[in-house]
Amino acid sequence: MAIQRIAHVGICVSDLERSRRFYRDALGFEEVARLETSSAPTRQLLQVPDADVRGAFFERDGLRIELLYYVRPGATAGERPRPMNRLGLTHLAIRVDALDATLAALRRAGATPLEDTLIDIPEFQARAAIVLDPDGTRLELIEAPGDPAAPFGVPVA
* pLDDT value at 104 more than 90: yes
Ordered by start, the domain boundaries in the chain are 9-72, 92-143
Q: What is the model's pTM?
A: 0.90
Q: Residue 67: which pLDDT band, with cuts at 50, 70 and 90?
A: very high
Average pLDDT in the 126-155 region? 89
Tell me the C-alpha to C-alpha distance, in Å, between residue 122 and each of 34, 104, 125, 128: 43, 23, 5, 11
* Distance, CA of 143 to CA of 124 (rounded, Å): 10
Instruction: DSSP for 84-133, please give it.
Output: TTSSS---EEEEES-HHHHHHHHHHTT-EE-GGG-EEEGGGTEEEEEEE-
Architecture of domain 92-143: 2-Layer Sandwich (3.30)
Cβ atoms < 10 Å from Cβ of 63: 13
Three-state SS for 37? strand
Angle at 104 between CA 100 and CA 109, to 5 degrees: 145
* pLDDT value at 80 more than 90: no
Share of the chain above pLDDT 90, in %: 73
* pLDDT value at 150 more than 90: no
Fold entry, domain 9-72: 2,3-Dihydroxybiphenyl 1,2-Dioxygenase; domain 1 (3.10.180)
The H or E element spanning position 45 is helix 40-46
pLDDT score, position 75 = 87
Q: pLDDT per residue over 20-34, tens digit each? A: 999 999 999 999 999
Q: Partners of 94 in the beta sheet?
A: 141
Average pLDDT in the 57-76 region? 94
pLDDT score, position 26 = 96
**Spatial contact of 55 and 66, defined as CB atoms under 8 Å apart:** yes
pLDDT score, position 98 = 95
